[in-house]
Amino acid sequence: MVAISIVILIICALLGLFVLAQNPKGGGLAAGFTGAQQIGGVQRTADFLEKGTWTLAGALMVLCLFSAGIQSRPEEEVFDDAIESVAPVEAPGATDASGMTDEGAEAPAQ
C-alpha cells in the first residue's frame, strides 16, 4: 500500500513538470528549439510532452482507483467487526436470566 502511494506521488510530480513545460500557445519547452533545428525537433518535443501528459494522467487515475479499491471494505464487514469488538456493558447489580446478580446473590423480588 505504501509503495502505491509513493508511485502516485512520483507520477504527480512528473505530471506537474510535464504540464509546466508546456505552453498553451505553442511555446513552452518547444520554443527553445527554434532556428536551425526546426526540421523536426519542435514538433517532436511538443508531441512527446502531450503524449507524456496523457500517459501520466491515465496512470495516475488507474493507480488512484486501484488504491481506493484496495482500501475499501464492504459495509457488512465493517459493521460485523464493530459489533464483535464492543462488549456488552451491564449495570452493577443487574440480574441475568437465572435471577442472580453479578455478585452471586439472589436479586430481591419486585
Could you tell me if residue 78 is inside a domain? yes
Our count of domains for the chain comes to 1
Could you tell me if residue 62 is inside a domain? yes
pLDDT given for residue 98 in this prediction: 62
pTM summary value: 0.52
Cell 459493521 -> residue: 79
Could you tell me if residue 101 is inside a domain? no
Would you say residue 52 has pLDDT above 50? yes
pLDDT given for residue 44 in this prediction: 74
Span 78-82, average pLDDT = 59
pLDDT given for residue 36 in this prediction: 47
Could you tell me if residue 47 is inside a domain? yes
Could you tell me if residue 95 is inside a domain? no
Could you tell me if residue 103 is inside a domain? no
Domain range for 12: 2-83
Which amino acid appears at position 77 of this protein?
E
Distances (CA, A) of 34 to 54, 55, 75, 90: 25, 26, 59, 82
Could you tell me if residue 10 is inside a domain? yes
Could you tell me if residue 28 is inside a domain? yes
What contacts 46, CB < 8 A, 6 or more positions away?
Answer: 22, 26, 28, 30
